[in-house]
Chain A
């Protein structure tokens, strides 16, 4: 294992003051994780199935979360996550380590989702399938959870109406928490372009919010809160 010499090298790098034990341990932990991941990727490239299994287990939840946020359709989730890992399987030999593995994985996931969406535009209609994207079980939820699930579904509908480019940067930045420069690496676009797309994505969503009753309700609620705090009369229809 090559982890030990690397940890030593990092701990004493540059002209920084010598870190205390806690810092050293944190850095060592971080580096060990990076080294382990590099090692895993190398083993995958060499055809080691157990290494791929570990990559799958470590990253499947992140991939599933991103896919769901990009599509908003739990029904497609399983197939898409599997497609992503099939792509990882086939392409990991081409991963040169020039970006972080997570960035590479994000890019691959976004590409798989976008390809699926393009294909889906002329896709078959599955007759008899439930329209409720979050499954029939949602009706068994308590009221507040049901309302929340409906709001989430409504918000996904809005995201679905946005262009692929705007939705991708919005999801990566606002929901996944990536910085604009990280998003730029994932979508292979300049940072300025990413910022512009983010601005327009947000503006578009604000516009669309008014058309979506489940979400307009949230805005009205907030508006009424604001008005009641300032002593103004409530908005029509919201006094009850």
Chain B
């Protein structure tokens, strides 16, 4: 006996069949494979965990949460915003696939955009931004709300910038946050250095903000006030530059965010008549000069220490230099390591290299491609 099925049921069965036969779209498997293979494969060398060791991690987590809660309750709210936070399961958008002009609006959760190997930026809830330049110099225009960014160090300057109206916030390797508050731009720097300047001008930054500093700027990027470890750099009529270094972050009483102020006095563009104290860190130009000498030295060492016949030999490494306050180099790190001969040659040469003196010194990383 056969049971007659209703047309709806047969329609459903037909749809199921169609769906089964519907081909999956082709993906760029090679690109995905290349991306996946960049991750180091974790190995299963762990011994089986006992009951108590399984409890250890949650226990440590609980203690940490309790400690953080205690600190939060006990302390005044910190003036600098926290680094971008996002839930782990919020997979980042692939920024490289966003076309210029793509407008993004975050919902109730932050929206994370990642440009592989270059930058990762987080649009905070309800903020809107669009990609203004997706080429070598990534530029994101923030229309409203706040945006935090972490930028991978790059030997080329200003490979990532955030623009708010006429204000351009351009960076080297760094982590920072930009917020549009009414007709002002609030910039907070948690790592590295950012230059704040009017859009369209790349030569003379009006302000330099370093780690743990913040600034509040007009929408044209020409005027503003800064707090903490920051400098205002304004060109005078003759084209020379005057530098005025503000007090160190610790010495400046931090105002609560709401008091941060368009009403505060603007930084005077006049050079200070007082004796200038040491800067907190060497300036970007000092660092770049040092980097240039270090790169030349590394290239010479690589050339001298690498034996080759007719083949071209190349190596990539991230060079991290820690410069002490007296300008001498405290430590050198190569990741991944280079040949011992190359490293010895480079380290002995780098010992002789000095930077300008500063209060805190500086640590920076540059990606090098060496070849001969």
Contacts and interface: CB of A to CB of B under 8 A. Distances in A.
A219 B91 contact: no
B8 A85 contact: no
B33 interface: yes
A116 B91 contact: yes
Contacts of B11: 209, 215, 218-219, 222
Interface string A142-177: 000000100110010000000000000000001101
Contacts of B33: 53, 56-57
Interface in B18-55: 18-20, 22, 24-25, 27-29, 32-33, 35-37, 39-44, 46
Contacts of A56: 33, 36
Interface stretch (A24-32, A59-67, A98-106): A59-67
A65 B23 CA distance: 8
Most A CB within 10 A of own CB, among B14, B18, B22, B104: B22
Contacts of B90: 119
A152 B19 contact: yes
A173 B254 CA distance: 61
Interface stretch (B105-113, B199-207, B244-252, B306-314): B105-113
Contacts of A209: 8, 11-12
A44 B105 CA distance: 40
A82 B32 contact: yes
Contact of B8 (A53, A151, A155, A210): A210
Given A83-B91, A93-B43, A116-B89, A155 B19 contact: yes
> Is chain A's binding surface mostly helix, strand, loop or mixed?
helix
A89 B15 CA distance: 35
B24 A65 contact: yes
Interface size class of A (residues with CB under 8 A): 35 or more
B136 interface: no
A239 interface: no
Given A152-B19, A175-B20, A93 B8 contact: no
Contacts of A220: 7
A61 B7 contact: no
B75 interface: no
A9 interface: no
A124 B104 contact: yes
B103 interface: yes
B203 to A, nearest CB: 34
Given A49-B37, A68-B24, A79 B94 contact: yes
Interface in A86-127: 86, 89-90, 92-94, 115-116, 118-119, 122-127
Contact of A151 (B18, B39, B46, B103): B18
A202 B12 CA distance: 8
Interface residues of B, number: 47
A85 B36 contact: yes
B9 interface: yes
B107 A122 contact: yes
B10 interface: yes
Contacts of A7: none
A113 to B, nearest CB: 11
Interface in B96-128: 101-109, 111, 123
A206 interface: yes
Contact of A122 (B39, B91, B102, B108): B108
B87 interface: yes
Contacts of B24: 61, 64-65, 68, 77
A128 B123 CA distance: 17
Nearest to A44: B41
A185 interface: no
Given A93-B46, A155-B19, A206-B12, 14 more contacts: A47-B43, A56-B33, A60-B27, A60-B32, A78-B28, A78-B32, A81-B27, A82-B36, A89-B36, A90-B42, A118-B89, A210-B8, A215-B11, A220-B7
Leading 7 A-B pairs by shortest Cβ distance: A93-B44, A219-B11, A222-B7, A122-B108, A45-B44, A223-B7, A47-B43
Interface of A: 44-49, 52-53, 56-57, 60-61, 64-65, 68-69, 74, 77-83, 85-86, 89-90, 92-94, 115-116, 118-119, 122-128, 135, 148, 151-152, 155, 174-175, 177, 202, 205-206, 209-210, 215, 218-220, 222-223, 226
28 contacts: A45-B44, A47-B41, A47-B43, A48-B41, A60-B32, A68-B24, A69-B19, A77-B25, A78-B27, A80-B91, A81-B27, A82-B35, A89-B42, A116-B91, A119-B109, A122-B107, A123-B107, A123-B109, A124-B105, A127-B103, A127-B105, A152-B19, A155-B18, A218-B14, A218-B15, A219-B10, A222-B11, A223-B7
